[in-house]
Structure formats: C-alpha cells, structure tokens
Amino acid sequence: MRKRSLLLLAGAAAIVASLVIGPAATAGPDKASAGTVVFIHDQEPPNLRPSWVDNSLYATSLVDNSIFQGGQIYNNSAQWVTRLFTGPPKLIKSNPLTTQFTFSPKAVWSDGTPVTCADWRATWQIWINPANNPASRTGYEDIKSVNCKGKTGIVTFKKVYADWVTLLNSGVWPAKYTAGKDANKLWEDSIPVSSGPWKFQSWQKGTQITVVKNPKFTIAPMKLDRVVFRFIADTNARFQAMKAGEGQAMEPQAQLQIADFQKDKNFVVKAVAGYSYEHLDIQFGPKGAAALKAPYVRQALITGINRPQIAAALYQTIAPGLPTLQSDIFKTFEKGYVKHYAAYPFNQTKVISTLKGKGCTGGPDKPSAGNDKIFSCPGVGKLSFRFGTTSGNQLRALTFEVIQRQLKSVGIELVPRFQPAGLLFGTTLPSSDWDLMLFTWVESPASKITAKDKLACGGEINYGNYCNKKASALLEKTATTLDEATRTKLLNQAEAMMAKDVPSIPMFVRPVFTIASAKLKGLTTPTTLEGDFWNVNSWTLAS
C-alpha cells in the first residue's frame, strides 16, 4: 500500500508539471468488534459546539447530528425522513407566516426527560442572543414568537422566511442544560445528554471521539454498541489505516488512493454527486491584497486557471468525467443550473494581454512554464497572493501546485498558506485575513434559498466580504419568496451580475465517496450535510 501510494503521488506530480500550459495520536485507538464501528476521518473538531463561528466544520456535524437529532433529517437521496417529530412541520398560514411542529411522544433525552417545544424555544433564544456567536442567525432572527404547549410549538415569523421547513427541522439543544450558561462555552469537551441514536462517551484529544448507543432512543434504535471517530490528518496514513483493518468506514475527500480500494474485494466503494462544491474564494475586505479589489485581476485569475483540465487530470481515476462547475449557487445536476462562469474559458494569452492593457508591468510577454517574472499593476502593486487551504490533504495540495504553476506562467504569484482544518475554518477563514481560499461548502438541497448568507453584502458567512448591492437585493428577496420557480429566477438574475464580479471561482461539484469494509452493512453514500450517519441505526457489522 505504501509503495502504491507513492506511485500514485509520483504520477500525479508528473501530471502537475504537464498542466502548467495547455488547452482549454498518543493513545492507541479502539479496536473494532461486532458491536463497534471505527470511522476514520481527516478532521478533528476543535470542540463539540456545532454551527458556531469557531466551529462550522462538517466533521463536527458528523458527530453532533446523531446527538442533537432533528425533527426530520435528509436521507441519502436528499429526501426528508421523520425522526423526532410526529410528521412534517405544517404551514398554518402565509400572512403572517405561521408554522407548527410536534415532537413525537417517543422523543426523549437520554436522561429520560421528554424533548419538548421548550427545548426548541430555548435553542431559538440562544441563537438570537447577541452575546452568543452562532455562525448564522438566519431564520431564527426572523421569528416573532414561539408558543409552546407541551410537545407542540407554533412558530410565527415577523416576515416570510422561505426555508422555514429546514429551520423547524433543525436539531435542538437541551433547555435544562443550557439555562443560565454561556453558550459560547457549551460542549467544549463533552455533551451530557442526547436526543438521537447515540450519546457522547469520551474524547481522547488528537486521537478519537467515542459515542455509544442511546437506549432511550426508540424511534429508530441503533443496532451497534458504539462508533469511534478516529482522526488521522495525514492522507497516506489515513488510507493505510483503513487498508490495515483499523477502521471499517470512511467518507474521504477525493484522493487518488481511492483507486486502490475500488479494486479491492474486501471493501465497498461508492460515489455520488453531493450538495457540496469545491471553490476558490477571493477576499474583498481590507485584510486582503489590494490587487484583488480590481475586477480585471479577478477575471485574470479565473481565465488563467484551466479548471476543466484540472478536474480531468487529477480526478480521472476516481471520478471520470467530472464536469467543471459554472455556478456559485446551483449544482450541475440541479434544476435551474445556468453556466454563468463559462464566460471565462482558459486563455493564458488573454490574461497577459489584459494585464498589460491595464498598465501592468514586469510580467512575461507570453505564457512560459519556466517564467519567474511577476506583474505589478498601477495602484495595486505586485500580483502576489496568499493561498489558503487545509493541510494534510494531498489532492488539494496537488490542485494548488497546478494552479500555482498555471498562474505563475502568466505572471501571477501564489504563496501557500496551508493550515489544519480547525485553525483554517475556526480562525483564519472568519478573520478574513487571507487573499485566496480553496475549500468546500457542504450544503443541503435548500441552501440556495439562503445564498444571501455567503454572497450578499454583510452575509453572515460572507467571509470574503464581497458586496454587489443590486445582486444582494435579489438574494434577500429570494429568502422571502415561497415559490420555488420565482426563487430560481431571482437567483439566476443575481448570479448573472455576480459572475461579472468574480467573487469566487467555482471548481466542481465535489464527488462524495464512502469506503466501507465488506463486513459493514447499511452504510449509504450521503449527498447532504447529514453525512453517512443519517441511517446509522440500521448499520450492522459482521464479526
């Protein structure tokens, strides 16, 4: 396995060189048993507080979604499946928007107390408290009142909030354990109770988190005794551990090593297109490079990157035919998808002529793989940018090398700034102290309804500080429009404007992979941020 991994890496390094110019733990891990599944993952949460400014990691949701269970959850086909509620939440009336949910009589916390509307109301109060730091208050801030009667809640909104179904279905925090507490310090190292199929047991920092079966969860009881999340940051070590039988499941980011498992009868490998996408964000704020404020520089960046060739070359063995994504809002397979960013085909000669036409000097006269001349432009200086992404991710590192060499060949310099996921997403990304950032937005089918959060002026997760007021008005209107066809029209009108600005460079819809031991039954490949564990209650492992 080690030798094969090195051969794959060496082969990829050769690909990198050919793409410069071209056409368009300290403690021993727990072992598995018939009742235990070890899930290997690349990212360790900084804490267990989900959807917070300092912790919006997908890795955290994998642990927490089955502890703070939702009223309904998405299955692997992106369809709602009822969990803690008696059924889908209801629309009572449209003006004012009034909705209703009811928790199931079987919905109880692991300490035996019932899950009630009081828990939902307490969670709402936590999210709108200005002293607290949730990643986003969208939806919660639009609520006028939550009236409770036991397990039933009537939620009335101050204005129309189009994604009310997702909001009501969200997992809740236990009111009795949050009352009077500083929410910014909750769940630092543990979670005392659970409303889902498992409950927290232990955390060996740097090594693993262990969760165990919650016997009080009778809605869809778990057949396993426990799940161990084992964290291995290094790509090679992670796949080697899986190969050696130290884990039974993983949901790896796209890596070349997956090809080894596709040919191994001891493992089952599945892949689907998910509601997540890889993209390169551009910083517009005061902490970013001044040159990025110039539209022609941003257009030069996207024109100088051969996105289709990167996808075809680096992903050909694990995701052949992976298309280039040409939208920052819609996925390639979604109704309403329009190729707005197809307006920027790869053209290195055009990049150089554009920069020279703007008075930039010091760069090359023509694209060259060996170029070391970097452009400087009037009023904005040298075209040299900090490039951030997660450390320990081999395919992202290769993607950076390709982009770095392609842009250097036209006189644009990229300086790597790789960091562990917890630091990158918990501190650096929200600080806006970066120039370019390559990462994945992991989303749900309804995320486009609230695209304003990441793309509108002042959006709560608009860490790039992009602002187009006309487009923002359309995005804001989308979030208050109940009709889907009208929302789709508004979103495409907004993105037609934004694509001219290039606030971000979409790369591709990220293929979602699962690798499982042939002995593990029940695991499905997820498409949404629920992850593999949406149906963990049905998993079984043969001894």
Report the SS3 class of residue 85: strand
What is the Rg, in whole angstroms, of the alpha carbon atoms belonging to the chain? 24
Residue 540 lies in a domain: no
Q: Is the pLDDT of residue 238 over 50?
A: yes
294 and 179 inside one domain: no
Residue 150 lies in a domain: yes
When pLDDT is cut at 50, 70 and 90, the band that residue 20 belongs to is low
Q: Identity (one letter) of the amino acid at 86? A: T
397 and 500 inside one domain: yes
283 and 174 inside one domain: no
Report the SS3 class of residue 288: coil
Of the residues 142, 160, 190, which one is the last residue of a structural domain? 190
How many alpha carbons lie under 13 Å from residue 512 in its C-beta half-sphere? 22
Of the residues 190, 221, 246, which one is the last residue of a structural domain? 190
186 and 278 inside one domain: no
What pLDDT is attached to residue 10?
32
Residue 281 lies in a domain: yes
170 and 299 inside one domain: no
167 and 283 inside one domain: no
Residue 51's CB is within 10 A of a number of other CB atoms, namely 17
The Cα angle at residue 386 between residues 381 and 392, in degrees rounded to 5: 165
Is residue 425 within 8 A of residue 394, CB to CB? The reply is: no
Split into its structural domains, the chain has a count of 2
278 and 186 inside one domain: no
Q: Is the pLDDT of residue 369 over 50?
A: yes
Residue 176 lies in a domain: yes
Residue 136's CB is within 10 A of a number of other CB atoms, namely 18
Q: In whole angstroms, what is the distance from residue 174 CA to residue 163 CA? A: 23
Residue 252 lies in a domain: no
What pLDDT is attached to residue 529?
82
Q: In whole angstroms, what is the distance from residue 250 CA to residue 529 CA? A: 15
Per-residue model confidence as pLDDT tens digits over 446-484: 999 999 999 999 999 999 999 999 999 999 999 999 999
178 and 284 inside one domain: no
Of the residues 190, 219, 235, which one is the last residue of a structural domain? 190
Task: Between 306 and 56, name the one with better pLDDT.
Answer: 306
DSSP 29: P
Which residue in the block uniquely carries the two structure tokens 């009111």?
A: 175
Q: Kindly tell me the sign of the dihedral angle through the C-alpha atoms of 161, 162, 165, 167.
A: negative
Give me the domain span that covers residue 64. 45-190
56 and 167 inside one domain: yes
The set of long-range contacts for 74-77, using a CB threshold of 8 Å and a minimum separation of 24, is: 74/444, 74/445, 74/527, 74/528, 74/529, 74/530, 74/534, 75/524, 75/530, 75/534, 75/535, 76/272, 76/524, 76/525, 76/526, 76/527, 76/534, 76/535, 77/527
Q: In whole angstroms, what is the distance from residue 502 CA to residue 299 CA? A: 7
When pLDDT is cut at 50, 70 and 90, the band that residue 339 belongs to is very high
Is residue 278 within 8 A of residue 440, CB to CB? The reply is: yes
CATH number at residue 328: 3.10.105.10
348 and 483 inside one domain: yes
Per-residue model confidence as pLDDT tens digits over 86-113: 999 999 999 999 999 999 999 999 999 9
Beta-sheet strands, E only, within 79-176:
80-82, 90-94, 97-102, 143-149, 152-157
When pLDDT is cut at 50, 70 and 90, the band that residue 21 belongs to is low
**Before 295, cis peptide (omega within 30)?**
no
Residue 378 lies in a domain: yes
Q: Are strands 249-250 and 36-41 parallel, antiparallel or unpaired?
A: parallel
430 and 323 inside one domain: yes
Q: In whole angstroms, what is the distance from residue 244 CA to residue 252 CA? A: 16
Q: Is the pLDDT of residue 6 over 50?
A: no
When pLDDT is cut at 50, 70 and 90, the band that residue 218 belongs to is very high
When pLDDT is cut at 50, 70 and 90, the band that residue 82 belongs to is very high
When pLDDT is cut at 50, 70 and 90, the band that residue 16 belongs to is very low
CATH number at residue 109: 3.90.76.10
Residue 237 lies in a domain: no
Residue 318 lies in a domain: yes
Query: Quick one: which of 92, 9, 41 has its CA closest to 207?
Result: 41
The reported pTM is 0.81
180 and 308 inside one domain: no
For the chain, the average pLDDT equals 91
